[in-house]
Amino acid sequence: MPPGRVLMVQGTASSVGKSLLVAGLCRLLLQEGYRVVPFKAQNMSNNAAVVPGGGEIGRAQALQAMAARVLPRVEMNPVLLKPEGNRRSQVVVLGTAHGTMSAPDYHVAKQDLWPIVAEALDTLRAEFDVVVAEGAGSPAEINLKDRDIANMRVARYASAPVLIVGDIDRGGVFAHLFGTFYLLEPEERALVRGFVINKLRGDPSLLAPGPQQIESLTGVPVVGVVPWLGDLGLPEEDSAVLDRRSDGGGPYAGVDVAIVRLPRIANFDDFDPLEREAHVRVRYVESPARLGTPDLVILPGTKATRDDLAWLQAKGWPAALQRARDDGAFIVGICGGFQMLGAEIEDPLGVEGASGRSHGLRWLDVSTRFQPRKVTRVSAAHVTASAGVLEGCDRLELEGYEIHAGISAVSGEQVAIRLADGEPVGALSPDGRVLGCYLHGLFGNHALRQRLLTNIARSRGKQYSPTPPPDTDAAIDRLAAVLRASIDLQAILRLIEQAGGTSACRGS
């Protein structure tokens, strides 16, 4: 059978909305009867997801897979870069970590990664009617184009029509579209078949005559003007979004949650379910001076535990956290944050940076030792404790996923959460005020989140009534409905049908 067709979504810059647009297109094409799958050759994010059977991909590709109603798999994101700071990133290839590289070293290594990217795309094309491919950053980064493996090289390889997305909310969208188009090579410009103006606040008619003029200048039509979507309740991948969630704190009647914004914060989408609670305020805090008087402080996951622990200590966070705990606040650590709450962290082989040992906050009787092979797995667990923040939670069943190189030994008296095979993945302090856990997605467990927040609110004399759990699938349908009303879907379908590949097997 000939390979499936590829539609590619590229952008004038990072954070213009490519990822959500791809998710919406996946659901639209599914509704139109296509077998559809997402793809992103190279992603850079510390928000990762674990696929069934193990292996990491970007969180955005997992959401896009959900939009296409297919299981996430490593071929959807064959190269994932996880920044560690100091201009270095861990390189994850087909779900497995392959060491750490500097930016110049990775720029050279990309040539060796291209055959892996091409094979992953070929694998998906052999199984699906349409691959909706997402670019990375901008295709017009002229300093990087010679070794591009994520944008126009993918489009050329697959003879894919390209939609270029511009963000009107940041201003200058027509200049961004025009400049991006004309920085491309002639053969690349020939693949650009549509522009999409994204994040419009206001009346689309006020854009005239801009869309007509940009088509006259480039020969490329504007095939969509997508409105500002507000909060659809879907996770965001780019840490730039955290700038909008900073808050200095202040009186609040509900449960006040302060998340320490570590320099290398990872998987911050863990806390989206808390943000959707009506009586919970979630704020990201960089300085102890802005901590205020929270009811819950969270130490999140991190790509470099010992480095971020050193930052925490240098900024005076241990004393601030101790004051918060003395004032009655609860402390929760997830993954790297869990490791920080323990007695010590050893990295004798330098898995996450310089080799050595670091003293933790010593609030949990936990010791962590890093090993070369990372644990990446979808996990089912259950709560074994019922005290303090976990009062009434014993025997609750939990779902989540793990991504960690550190292996932690937990004192038997403090074990609070175990996997089905009995392995401990969480600990609770004797006073019940400090909880650590390896499970990403912990707060996505509605029963646990409801009970935990109820316990905190009662202890602090605060207001809290549970909010019904979010329906991610319904949110994707809402996204698709907005796109159906704001883009020229028939034009996009024609581009797909005219692209190289096999005829779509609708309804199969």
For the chain, how many helices (H) and strands (E)? 14, 25
| Contact assessment for residue 178 and residue 218, using Cβ atoms and an 8 Å cutoff | yes
Instruction: Output the average pLDDT for the chain.
Output: 93
Q: What are phi and psi of 463, to 5 degrees?
A: -90, 135
Q: What is the predicted pLDDT for the residue at 504?
A: 39
- Helix axis angle for 472-486 and 59-68, nearest 10°, is 80
Reported confidence tier of residue 387, pLDDT bands at 50, 70, 90:
very high
| pLDDT greater at residue 147 or residue 428 | 428
Give mean pLDDT, residues 433-446.
97
pLDDT tens sequence across 297-328 = 999 999 999 999 999 999 999 999 999 999 99
Q: What domains can be seen in the chain, in order of their start residue?
A: 5-40+114-232+473-498 (3.40.50.300), 239-460 (3.40.50.880)
Q: How many CB atoms lie within 10 A of CB 343?
A: 16
Reported confidence tier of residue 352, pLDDT bands at 50, 70, 90:
confident
**Is 335 one of the annotated active-site residues of the chain?**
yes
Give the contacts of 300 (CB within 8 A, at least 6 positions apart).
259, 260, 262, 265, 266, 267, 268, 270, 271, 334, 335, 336, 337
Reported confidence tier of residue 243, pLDDT bands at 50, 70, 90:
low
pLDDT tens sequence across 83-96 = 987 788 999 999 99
Q: Counting every residue, how long is the chain? A: 508
Give mean pLDDT, residues 263-274.
94
Q: Of all residues in the chain, what percent are helix, strand and coil, respectively (each to 5)?
A: 35, 30, 35
**Is 437 one of the annotated active-site residues of the chain?**
no
- Residue linked to tokens 């205020």: 292
pLDDT tens sequence across 400-419 = 999 999 999 999 899 999 99
In the numeric block, which tokens belong to residue 340? 């920080």
pLDDT tens sequence across 129-147 = 999 999 999 999 998 888 8
Ordered DSSP codes for 250-289: ---SSEEEEEE--TTEE-GGGGHHHHT-TTEEEEEESSGG
Reported confidence tier of residue 508, pLDDT bands at 50, 70, 90:
very low
Catalytic residue (choose from 335, 393, 404, 437): 335
Catalytic residue (choose from 26, 176, 437, 440): 440
Q: Is the pTM of this model over 0.85?
A: yes
CA–CA separation, 498 and 161 (whole Å): 9
